[in-house]
Amino acid sequence: MYEASKDRYEKMLYRRVGQSGLKLPLLSLGFWQNFGHEKPFDEVKEIVLTAFNNGITHFDLANNYGRPAGSAESNLGKILKNELKPYRDQLIISTKAGYGMWEGPYGDFGSRKYLMASLDQSLERLGLDYVDIFYHHRPDYDTPLEETMKALADIVMMGKALYVGISSYPADRAREAKKILASYGVRLLIHQPSFSMLNRWIQTDGLSDAMVEEGVGIIPFSILQQGLLTEKYLKEIPKDSRMGNEETWWFKPSELTDEVKAKLLKLKVIAEKRGQSLAQMAIAWTLTQKGISSVLIGVSKLSQLESNLKALENLEFNDVELSQIDLILNS
């Protein structure tokens, strides 16, 4: 019988999401990779329970996460049923729809038909009556934004989600999405964009400023740039890494340019002076950026989770460190 660590909430810091009443842990666990049937279930369970034992109360999924698609939700559903059921009200479970999930014209993008059906399927896999946050996973410029947002608003009204969010929307479309939701009396809680030291589009696009102005929280994914902001690629590309896997179409060796490697080596020097690994410093730096409510970490091993948690031991940067980091990133 699983019993959660008694001191779990003393190990984690929590931050309010935008101007809402909801708080999230500074580190949230993302299920994008390594949480489906491609990984032994016992390893998945060990990571999830260790995360909760350390105060990580937010688990982030999507309908198509895991191999096969949906298996990440199914695995978490088993853990919720067998180990975490007594703690359901202490957890934030989020899922999304917006990418291809099933064949035909109704299994992708942002139509009302797709969003409603996808969430029902996700709830069945998770074994839940509702999720805490439901996201539209990406902008869909072929579906009227009003249709997508009305579906999200109705999902809240139906009690199938407590809050709704969007992912990867540019600033202008995010503002419009919030306005439409507000017209139905529903708050846009949170935005989930990609963001890291090496990918700062939300700042150059004005998205982070816009979300702060609108009172919407930001929870970035790929904060370690698919592993580039770790030290695994500084010498050579490991064959068992994402970049070394020929099936990984979204993360190719061409991204590891000499310029990027030079930046990583310089950043590593600063991290070492701070008593951190490069990854730990990257997590801490991301948490200092404007509008960030929480960050999503993705891990393939328990040791990676434990290492990421140590980033919380040193979240403060002095002016010299921040200036040096800016010079490196802008070079």
Name all domains of the chain by residue range, CATH numbers in brackets. Answer: 8-225+286-316 (3.20.20.100)
What's CA 304's distance to the chain center, in Å?
A: 16
Q: How far is CA 328 from CA 57, 136, 274, 276, in A?
A: 34, 34, 16, 18
- How far apart, in whole angstroms, are the C-alpha atoms of residue 113 and residue 107? 9
Check if the beta carbon of residue 308 is closer than 8 Å to that of residue 299: yes
Residues in the chain: 331
> What are 89-107's pLDDT values in tens digits?
999 999 999 999 999 999 9
User: What confidence score (pLDDT) does residue 234 get?
Assistant: 74
Ramachandran angles phi, psi of 211, nearest 5°: -70, -35
Contact residues for 31 (Cβ-Cβ < 8 A; gap 6+): 59, 60, 61, 62, 65, 66, 72, 73, 76, 298
pLDDT in tens, 188-226: 999 999 999 999 999 999 999 999 999 999 999 999 998
Q: What is the pLDDT of residue 162?
A: 98
Residue 257: its pLDDT value, please? 85
**Amino acid making up residue 157:** M
Rounded to 5°, the CA angle 29-167-243 comes to 60
- Predicted confidence at residue 242, as pLDDT, reads 57
Buried residues in 259-278 as b, exposed as e (16+ CB within 10 A)? eeeebbebbbebbeebebbb
> Residues of the chain whose pLDDT is less than 50?
244
